Amino acid sequence: MQTIGDTKYGRLVGMDSYGNKYYENLEEAPNRTRWVDYKSSLFDASQVEPGWNAWLRYMVDEAPSESNTNEGSVKKLEPSWKKPFQPNLTFSRGAYKPYNTVLPKFTEWTPNVKERVS
């Protein structure tokens, strides 16, 4: 447990395509029985896939790895035209950066320095 700051133990329920590990311990306090151990220490909550997010939030009882379908219990409810899940890329090289069409409001000043005459 490199990032949650708490010693926990539980049953490994599964892993997602990003390498995150999902655990469950039914002996913990209520609503604290499921948690995720992110692959990277620089994690973002959007790195949890929708099926696993539903399991973590107690929306479904079966984890996507334990469900009858290969794609998870929430995946079958999604429309066919929906794009594949992608985590939040803010503050990374993959972040969206629009093309700038506005001219700069000021320019740099570079002074012309002449040699001193002694």
Written as tens digits, the pLDDT of the chain (118 aa) is: 555 567 778 899 999 888 999 999 888 888 788 999 888 877 878 888 888 999 999 999 888 887 655 454 455 566 788 887 777 888 888 888 888 888 888 888 888 988 888 7
What confidence score (pLDDT) does residue 73 get?
46
What confidence score (pLDDT) does residue 3 get?
56
- Sorted by where each begins, the domain ranges of the chain are 1-118
What confidence score (pLDDT) does residue 75 get?
53
| Of 37, 43, 46, the residue nearest 2 (C-alpha) | 37
Transcribe the chain into DSSP letters: --SS-S----EEEEE-TT--EEEE-TTS-TT-SEEEE-SSSS--GGGS-HHHHHHHTTS-SS-TTTSSSTT-TTGGGS-TTPPPP----TTSTTS--PPP-SPPSS------PPPPP-
Inter-CA distances, 53 with 36, 77, 82, 107, Å: 10, 14, 17, 48
Q: How far apart (Å, rounded) are the C-alpha atoms in residues 30 and 117? A: 82
What confidence score (pLDDT) does residue 21 get?
93
As a dihedral over the C-alpha atoms of residue 36, residue 37, residue 42, residue 47, rounded to 10 degrees, the angle is: -40
